[in-house]
Structures are given as structure tokens and as C-alpha cells.
């Protein structure tokens, strides 16, 4: 008989907390009025907040894709006894978080590409050419900067809900849900 898992594996926990940290940092460093400043001729490479925000966005997308690959092969995740509605709500929230973790960076690429702005990353990496996006009527029909801003706010609210639920599980239900994403105590 195998004992039930009480914690996520170390790699899952590491990816989770790295992603959470990168999302929060990217939000905090999100430059306001970026699109307007770019249209006025600002070179994004001259602003550390823009370079950090865009680098963190690429990191979030990379970590998310890595996490999705890992979810497919990782050891079994912990299971917790909870009412059906709570389990369904948790699954829906996690699904939306996964979707948002991909949609926010994609919307940023679309915002940059549709406006012809470069992607500027740490180390002087710069991607300036977006020919497919500049020629796409679909991409040009929407203000992707507004979409990116709205999605950025949504992921923060959803992440906050996720954190509040984990704290509720820890303080009220005392069921180990929060502890499952922390390092096991000895």
C-alpha cells in the first residue's frame, strides 16, 4: 500500500513560486503609458523598468510552458478531501490561471508586434521585426495594449483569489492544501 502524497514534488513547488514571483514583479514593474511613450519615440532599451517587465514576461511564459510539460510527466499530485463544488472551483481557478499565464505574455507580443515596437530583454536582446503581425488584419483590429493591461489586472485578481483560498484552507479547513506547496517539514 502506498501512502498518499501530502506535498507537491520539489520541482513543481520551485516552478510555482518562481512563476508567482515573476508575475508579481512584472506587474509591479509594468510601465504605465508604455505604448504612448513608444509612439512618441522612446527607445525601450533606455528604460530599465520596460526591459525588466518584458524580460519577466518572457520568463513567465517560459516557466509556464515548462510547468505544463512537467505536469504531464511529474509524480502524482496530492489529493485532498473536499466537497465537490470546492474541487470543481479549484480546477476551474487553476485552469483560468494556466490560461492567463499564457494569454498575458501572448497579448504583450501582439501589442508590441501590432504597433511595430521592439521586444527588449536583459542582456541587450532586442526583437524588432514583427512582419507577420504588422500584416495581419486580425492583429491590427484590436488594441492589444489595452487587452494586455486588462489581462494583467485579471491575472493579479485571480492570483489573489488563489492565495486567499489557500490561506482559507490553511487557517479554517486545516487540510494541508497550502502546506502541499511548501517544503515538507522534517
64 occurs within a structural domain: yes
Average pLDDT of the segment spanning 50-75: 95
pLDDT confidence band for 84 (50 / 70 / 90) = very high
Report whether 100 contacts 155 (CB < 8 A). yes
Average pLDDT of the segment spanning 48-74: 95
Give the position of cell 514571483.
21
5 occurs within a structural domain: no
The residue range of the domain holding 120 is 10-77+90-181
84 occurs within a structural domain: no
Per-residue confidence (pLDDT) for residue 2, from 0 to 100: 53
> In a 3-state reduction of DSSP, which class is residue 119?
strand
Per-residue confidence (pLDDT) for residue 141, from 0 to 100: 86
Give the position of cell 530599465.
48
Supply the CATH number for residue 134's domain.
1.20.950
CA 4 to chain centre: 29
57 occurs within a structural domain: yes
Average pLDDT of the segment spanning 68-91: 91
Per-residue confidence (pLDDT) for residue 3, from 0 to 100: 57
* Helices (H), ranges, 74-183: 84-115, 131-135, 137-140, 144-168
Average pLDDT of the segment spanning 40-67: 93
Number of domains the chain is built from: 1
Q: Is the pLDDT of residue 72 over 90?
A: yes
The pLDDT tens digits for 99-154 are 999 999 999 999 888 888 889 999 999 998 877 777 788 778 888 989 999 999 99
Amino acid at each position: 500500500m502506498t501512502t498518499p502524497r501530502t506535498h507537491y514534488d520539489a520541482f513543481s513547488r520551485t516552478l510555482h513560486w518562481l512563476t508567482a514571483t515573476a508575475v508579481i514583479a512584472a506587474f509591479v514593474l509594468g510601465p504605465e503609458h508604455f505604448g504612448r511613450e513608444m509612439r512618441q519615440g522612446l527607445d525601450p532599451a533606455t528604460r530599465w523598468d520596460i526591459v525588466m517587465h518584458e524580460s519577466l514576461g518572457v520568463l513567465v511564459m517560459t516557466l509556464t510552458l515548462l510547468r505544463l510539460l512537467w505536469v504531464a510527466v511529474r509524480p502524482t499530485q496530492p489529493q485532498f478531501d473536499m466537497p465537490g463544488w470546492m474541487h470543481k472551483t479549484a480546477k476551474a481557478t487553476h485552469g483560468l490561471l494556466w490560461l492567463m499565464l499564457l494569454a498575458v505574455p501572448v497579448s504583450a507580443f501582439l501589442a508590441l508586434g501590432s504597433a511595430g515596437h521592439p521586444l527588449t530583454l536583459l542582456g541587450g536582446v532586442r526583437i524588432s521585426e514583427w512582419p507577420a503581425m504588422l500584416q495581419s488584419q486580425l492583429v491590427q483590429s484590436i488594441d492589444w495594449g489595452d487587452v494586455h493591461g486588462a489581462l494583467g489586472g485579471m491575472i493579479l485578481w485571480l492570483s489573489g483569489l488563489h492565495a486567499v483560498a489557500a490561506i482559507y484552507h490553511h487557517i479554517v479547513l486545516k487540510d494541508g492544501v497550502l502546506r502541499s506547496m511548501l517544503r515538507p517539514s522534517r
